[in-house]
Structure 1
Amino acid sequence: MLKYRNITFIGAGSMAEAMISGLIHKAGISPDRIIAANHTNENRRFELTNKYNITTTSVRELSLSNTDVIILAVKPKQAEEVLQQLRPALQDHHVILSVLAGISTSYIEEIIDRSLPIVRVMPNTSSMIGESITGICAGKYVKNEDLDLAQELSKAIGKVKIISEKQMDVFTGIAGSGPAYFYYLLEHMEDVAVENGLDRELARDIAAQTLYGASKMVMESDDSPAELRKKVTSPNGTTAAGLEALAENGGGVAIEKAVEHAAKRSKSLRKEFEKVPVM
């Protein structure tokens, strides 16, 4: 069904590009069914057109008459302005997917003042290679077929989890922001390896494959991460020494705080841009 839909991205940043790449290269969506629009950055539009052979335009010159799915992928602070611009052009057949961090479906429904289906979608940048984990939640006017469409589109760029809107903030803290935490970890593993005599490219391959293998073990094993950790930790061994250093230096707490702070920031965006109390 998805391959027969026309998709318009409002926003042409890194997340929009990641989704566009996944849809074209992993899902086989024809580039002529994808449009990306931004406000003023012509160079960015030119870059996306050359790279993916999609149509690009400015938001001001955008027509939505032939579009089925509208994907909002702008910065949260631009949400109200963009929605006000789009509102006169919205039609009954449109389905809106929002990638706006922290912005609720009810806020979007209020701004557009139309009974259109709004589905919040939170992918991550791994969608560029078809390996995202995407959380989706439904707004007030979403029907089963709209949710099916959102799932189908999201499956084209990775795995999908249907969650409640109340869970979206912590999902954002884990999955939306999570790739950066792992890149940060790999960055430091790479640096210490180089300091101890390894070539940087070799160190990167070793660290990345180790992370990939550990992730695959978690996904394919019935054991919990804690149980897997215990299985590879011999008393007084090298792994035990490394884990002791992590604990002594607050490694676990740092990870927890990263997720908590990202989730808190997602919540605060509602207060900042929607002008409503944060629960």
Structure 2
Amino acid sequence: MNIGFIGTGNMGSILIESFIESNAVNPSDITITNRTRAKAESLQKSYPSLHVASDASEVIHKSNIIFLCVKPLDIHPLLEKVRPLLKPHHCLVSITSPISVKQLEELVDCQVARIIPSITNRAFSGVSLVTYGESCKQHYRLFLDHLLSKISTPLSIENNITRVSSDIVSCGPAFFSYLLQRFIDSAVEETEITKDQATKMISEMVVGFGKLLETNLYTLPTLQEKVCVKGGVTGEGIKVLEEHVGEMFNKVFQQTHAKYDEDLEKVGYQFNK
């Protein structure tokens, strides 16, 4: 199966690297292009049998599955330009959340899917969010599920929970990286621990925490109960978190959804004009 990538920015590159290094795809079966050609060529230096195309049209011509890894507002102009090249045997895969598979199906005459990846896929872990269009045939669904299972746990979602799912799966690593960095900074500010020491300890703690959850020995609430001994130090720390966290995460979701609504309006104008 020949696979194309239009766009080799952060997420496009992560998908390409992950698919190749997990042995899900042979680099010789991948054709890529990018507006800044040097970015595509830098990937080719790492994987010499990767094909670099001159433009999106060449990618479509050489591929069965085409991943669209460009910004949401760049998708409609791009598809307007190349849609005569997209045939029923092609499968177009968007990785952006504001554009639905229904909108794509109304614009192009090929099979359609939406896959929202996460940076955690680079470690062959985490979740990939999947929504298949009605046009997407079973053999492409099975192939994409197999492909994604090499780098993640594919999870099918409906359009109504796209944003919150993306917040958790795709934005979550950035949100919690920020919180962990604040945790490190506060430890350094309040005690004699060095930044390197705190970073090492917290990094190893997070890895161990993830492995512990992976065993299914504990749920999040029961894990908290196991660590939080009555009258102990952990309980005092939890009290502070309960007092100060408050509606912080509610506000995070409110803010991301407000931006999402703004993006939906802009994208909707493009697709409906």
- The answer to whether TM tops 0.5 is yes
Number of the residue aligned with 1:189: 183
With over 3 angstroms needed to count, the CA separation of the structure-2 counterparts of 1:83 and 1:216, relative to structure 1, is: same
1:150 pairs with 2:144: yes
Q: 2:225 aligns with which of 223, 230, 235?
A: 230
Number of the residue aligned with 1:43: 38
Aligned length: 268
Question: Partners of 1:71 and 1:60 in 2: how far apart?
Answer: 11
1:128-139 matches, within 5 Å, as 128-139=122-133
Q: Which amino acid aligns with 1:83?
A: L
**Counterpart contact for 1:7–1:67, Cα < 8 Å:** yes
Question: Partners of 1:183 and 1:18 in 2: how far apart?
Answer: 18
**Counterpart contact for 1:104–1:270, Cα < 8 Å:** no
Task: State, as a whole percentage, how many aligned pairs show the same letter.
Answer: 24
Number of the residue aligned with 2:214: 219
1:67 pairs with 2:67: no
Number of the residue aligned with 1:24: 20
Q: Which amino acid aligns with 2:205?
A: T
1:243 pairs with 2:245: no
1:82 pairs with 2:78: yes
| Deviation by residue 1:84-116 (Cα, 9 ceiling, x = unmatched) | 12212212221111101211011111222x1x2
**Counterpart contact for 2:184–2:195, Cα < 8 Å:** yes
With over 3 angstroms needed to count, the CA separation of the structure-2 counterparts of 1:14 and 1:227, relative to structure 1, is: same
With over 3 angstroms needed to count, the CA separation of the structure-2 counterparts of 1:133 and 1:221, relative to structure 1, is: same
**Counterpart contact for 2:4–2:59, Cα < 8 Å:** no
Q: Which amino acid aligns with 2:96?
A: L
**Counterpart contact for 1:177–1:262, Cα < 8 Å:** no
Number of the residue aligned with 2:134: 140
Q: 1:177 aligns with which of 171, 177, 195?
A: 171
Q: Which amino acid aligns with 1:206?
A: M
1:272 pairs with 2:272: no
Q: 1:152, CA displacement in angstroms?
A: 1.3
**Counterpart contact for 1:172–1:262, Cα < 8 Å:** no
Q: 1:140, CA displacement in angstroms?
A: 2.0
Question: Partners of 1:132 and 1:264 in 2: how far apart?
Answer: 25
Q: 1:268, CA displacement in angstroms?
A: 3.6
Q: Which amino acid aligns with 1:22?
A: S
Question: Partners of 1:90 and 1:16 in 2: how far apart?
Answer: 20
**Counterpart contact for 1:9–1:73, Cα < 8 Å:** yes
The answer for unaligned runs of 5 or more in structure 2 is none
Q: 1:263, CA displacement in angstroms?
A: 4.1
With over 3 angstroms needed to count, the CA separation of the structure-2 counterparts of 1:263 and 1:230, relative to structure 1, is: farther
Q: 1:236, CA displacement in angstroms?
A: 2.6
With over 3 angstroms needed to count, the CA separation of the structure-2 counterparts of 1:259 and 1:223, relative to structure 1, is: farther
Question: Partners of 1:258 and 1:47 in 2: how far apart?
Answer: 36
Number of the residue aligned with 1:122: 116
Question: Partners of 2:53 and 2:193 in 1: how far apart?
Answer: 47
Find the residue that maps to 2:62 and give its secondary structure: coil
With over 3 angstroms needed to count, the CA separation of the structure-2 counterparts of 1:10 and 1:64, relative to structure 1, is: same
Q: 1:267, CA displacement in angstroms?
A: 4.2
Question: Partners of 1:260 and 1:62 in 2: how far apart?
Answer: 41
Provide TM-score, normalisation by structure 1. Answer: 0.88
Question: Partners of 1:260 and 1:215 in 2: how far apart?
Answer: 27
Provide TM-score, normalisation by structure 2. Answer: 0.90
